[in-house]
Amino acid sequence: MIVSPIDYRYGRKEVKEIFSEEGRLKYLLMVESEISNTEAKLAIIPESAAKEISKKANIEYVKLEKVKEIESEINHDIMAMVKELSNVSGDAGKYVHLGATSNDINDTATALQLKDFLIYLEEDFSKLENTLYSLAKSHKETPMIGRTHGQHALPITFGLKVSVYLSEIMRHHERLIEAKKRILVGKFMGAVGTGAALGKKTMEVQEKLMESLGLGIEEGPTQIVNRDRYVEYVSVIAGIATSLEKFATEIRNLQRPEIDEVQEPFDQEKQVGSSTMAQKMNPVISENVCSLARIIRGFLTPMHESAILWHERDLTNSAAERFIIPYVSILIDDIMLKTNYVFSNLKVNKEKMLKNLMMNDLIMGEAYIMYLVSRGYSRQDAHEIVRKSSMEARKNQTRLIDEVRKITNLNVPEANPLDYIGNSMEIVDSILEKYQIHLKKYH
């Protein structure tokens, strides 16, 4: 019986395989295999035993069904895996898991899972950054109205809006890269982090083991890798999700019929917008991104709580992390791909952007303030004149410039919104240049 929508609705197959039940077993066995190989190299166990353990430490020999059967009897998942690996390894089985504790295997396997997953996530970043770069470049000069508080504010360009998103995504990418050295770490220091079982050789085993696995070392372990590392990982992922929701929310707003400036991809041949309102073209992909981003952020609290453990560790983190790590990883990949799809296929209605921009001249209030200041008015007096004039223009359904002229008795020149986009294009160019530097550094 399948319960979680992760299993049948969200996430791509390749990523879900990393975090699947069988995938998890594969990574656990990978760690056990490498422990045996490392211990053999240091003459702690016979080389022949390590070869046999490595040969059998895979899901062809250690079957998930058998491990679960053993676990149902002994109520310990890692020991169930150890027992079955020992069973299939014959005489060499007596050396399986030597000097290790469960979380030497558990946490190191998690690091390996994340290491493989981050390859996919970094590819997601590359795709989305390239898409936003192309969109910002194409619409660098496309004028539109900027909005604050949901109200018309000042002219901007659509390229500026998108370049802001690009700069934000690049920062998240940098955060992830910088955090990898703190996140991708394992341990082999036994039950309370002292490495007493193998004595002086433990440190050497741990160093060579993590080197062979391509992982960093937990320099101050207890029985576990310290959970501030997982807190950082989930926090970085939650930050990415927050930005994606922000972008998707903007698409949803700009797609509203009364605004109608953009539209996410919609298959007009077959896609159904509503079961009853057949005419609708809903922004369902962007809404899905928003919905799943909230699920990701919802794991921030249990992850923080899971870092607060008794003494050298307890099990209050265990059940929560079985949800947290796979879910945030699978879902962030899912919504990164969906966001990229939306922006890659975004319909930009330049004509409607221009129409909304030229709706009335109230948006030129700042320009008129600056003109009055240039004619000798104080900034505050100019502000009050334009404020009063805008209220009269709304009440009388007149133009702002006419009301300003009436109050000041000046022939105030009419401001053109298309000439008041400030440094929009220069800012876009600056961010596009930063992307080229980012591209060389991280891709």
* Residue 443 confidence (pLDDT) above 80: no
| pLDDT digit string, tens, across residues 366-391 | 999 999 999 999 999 999 999 999 99
* pLDDT band for position 272 (cuts 50, 70, 90): confident
Q: Where are the domains of the chain?
A: 1-98, 102-354, 360-419
Mean per-residue pLDDT, 252-269: 94
Percentage above 70 pLDDT, the chain: 100
Task: Give residue 271's pLDDT.
Answer: 86
**Known catalytic residue: 374?**
no
CA–CA separation, 108 and 127 (whole Å): 29
CA–CA separation, 58 and 40 (whole Å): 19
Angle 66-67-68 (CA atoms, 0-180°, nearest 5)?
A: 90
Task: Give residue 257's pLDDT.
Answer: 96
User: From the candidates 4, 138, 212, 274, which is the catalytic residue?
Assistant: 274
| 49 class by beta-carbon count within 10 Å (0-12 exposed, 13-18 middle, 19+ buried) | buried
User: From the candidates 72, 149, 275, 311, which is the catalytic residue?
Assistant: 149
* pLDDT band for position 106 (cuts 50, 70, 90): very high
Task: Give residue 278's pLDDT.
Answer: 84
Quickly count: other Cβ atoms within 10 Å of residue 110's Cβ. Answer: 27
105 contacts: CB under 8 Å, gap ≥ 6: 28, 31, 32, 78, 81, 97
| pLDDT digit string, tens, across residues 312-355 | 999 999 999 999 999 999 999 999 999 999 999 999 999 999 99
| Count of positions (residues) in the chain | 443
Element (H, E) at 213: helix 201-213
Pairing relationship of beta strands 347-348 and 262-263 according to DSSP bridges: antiparallel
Mean per-residue pLDDT, 144-165: 98
The domain made up of 1-98 is a member of CATH 1.10.275.10: yes
**Known catalytic residue: 149?**
yes
* Residue 211 confidence (pLDDT) above 90: yes
13 vs 443: which has the higher pLDDT: 13
Which pair of structure tokens corresponds to residue 80? 């169930």
| 35 class by beta-carbon count within 10 Å (0-12 exposed, 13-18 middle, 19+ buried) | buried
Task: Give residue 267's pLDDT.
Answer: 81
* Among 85, 99, 119, residue whose Cα is nearest residue 39: 99
Which residue in this structure is represented by tokens 């980012």? 438
* Among 151, 88, 162, residue whose Cα is nearest residue 346: 162
CATH architecture of 102-354: Up-down Bundle (1.20)
3-class state of residue 14 by DSSP: helix
Task: Give residue 376's pLDDT.
Answer: 96
Task: Give residue 274's pLDDT.
Answer: 83
Mean per-residue pLDDT, 204-217: 98
Q: 217: which strand partners? A: 186
CA–CA separation, 413 and 223 (whole Å): 74
pTM of the model as a whole? 0.96
CA–CA separation, 264 and 344 (whole Å): 9
* Residue 293 confidence (pLDDT) above 90: yes
